[in-house]
Structure 1
Amino acid sequence: MRRTDDPPARETTDRPTVTRAVAVTAALSTLLGLAHHVDHVVRGNHVGWPVTGQVNPFTYSLAIYPFVAVGLYLTVTGRVGNRYWAGFFACSAAMLAYFHVSPWAIEPPGDVILPYADPTAGYLAFAVLLALIASVTLGSLFAAVAWSRETA
């Protein structure tokens, strides 16, 4: 029996959360994404606004950062969790794979590797791109598994 002068029992909330694996993957993917966007500028192809006056897929791809920022804010405030990140990472993986390594790629591997005079630099840039695709794919899997465990 609870006495009136006892502190109230801790309440549990149903606020969405993310697992550590999802949070680490989000940070890693963001850093790899920034590195890939810097690579665009360094090699000078497939670059658009705000670096040049042309609006192109590069320009639209920069919209990923507001989605990351909003996702982080909503995660910290307990409004979104693993479900948001599962969808975010899945969409990111699909778009990156489509634009870079699919048969319909707008920026195929050669466009990443060949602009560099030193082949090592080109292959390093491509390795960063592959690591980015792998990280968002893994992030999608981590978040989906965590989300499914929450709903089970």
Structure 2
Amino acid sequence: MDIESRLPSSLRTEGTSLRPLFYVFAAIPTLLGAAHHVDHVVRGNHVGWPLTGAVNPFTYSLAIYPLVAISLYLTATDRAGARYWAWFFAFSAGMLAYFHVSPWAVEPPQDVIGPYSDPAVGYLAFAVLLALMASVVAASAYATVLWSRHES
């Protein structure tokens, strides 16, 4: 009996180019993204609506959670596959890089590290951000491999 047959039907991927391991690649960036959003709140900078009256990139970035949920639903109902996820994660990686480490960064590394009185905590918060970025790149690469195997 393979692992696929032990999964609930909503998580099975037969008939698609995805594999059960794919869900790990989707869960890790989602959890790291939530940790990064909590970090925004804890350090108190670059926070927007719904916690303040300002609408800013933080506000728009919260859209990732319903987008992930909708995307998982589309995947479970065989309407989205590896190609979709490869592009979804690649776009997410680009947005994270643009807003955090590019020359045009809205929230550069010093804005993540600096607000903490203990530099170790600031560097830990930045490490979470780097892990988030690495996880979406890895997820995009994994989905691209699955896509290429399915298309060939």
Kept after mapping to 1: 8 A contact 2:18/2:81:
yes
Aligned to 1:11: none
Kept after mapping to 1: 8 A contact 2:82/2:143:
yes
Kept after mapping to 1: 8 A contact 2:49/2:55:
yes
Would you say how many aligned residue pairs link Structure 1 and Structure 2? 140
Q: Does 1:40 align with 2:40?
A: yes
Q: Tell me which amino acid in the other structure corresponds to 2:71.
A: G
1:17 Cα shift?
4.2
1:21 Cα shift?
3.6
Aligned to 2:110: 110
Q: Tell me which amino acid in the other structure corresponds to 1:109.
A: P
1:76 Cα shift?
1.1
Q: SS of the counterpart of 1:137? A: helix
Aligned to 1:16: 16
Aligned to 2:93: 93
Which whole-Å CA distance do the structure 1 matches of 2:135 and 2:99 have between them?
Answer: 16
Kept after mapping to 2: 8 A contact 1:35/1:128:
yes
User: In the TM superposition, what whole-angstrom CA distance separates every residue of 1:31-72 from its partner, at most 9, and x where no partner exists?
Assistant: 000000000000000000001010000000011111100011
TM-score under structure 1 length normalisation: 0.88
Query: Which is higher, the Rg of structure 1 or of structure 2?
Result: 1
Kept after mapping to 1: 8 A contact 2:17/2:150:
no
Q: Does 1:75 align with 2:90?
A: no
Instruction: Give the CA RMSD over aligned residues.
Output: 1.4
Which whole-Å CA distance do the structure 2 matches of 1:20 and 1:113 have between them?
Answer: 36
Structure 1 moving runs of 4+ over 2 Å: 14-17, 19-22
After superposition, residues 102-141 of structure 1 pair within 5 angstroms as 102-141=102-141
Which whole-Å CA distance do the structure 2 matches of 1:56 and 1:133 have between them?
Answer: 20
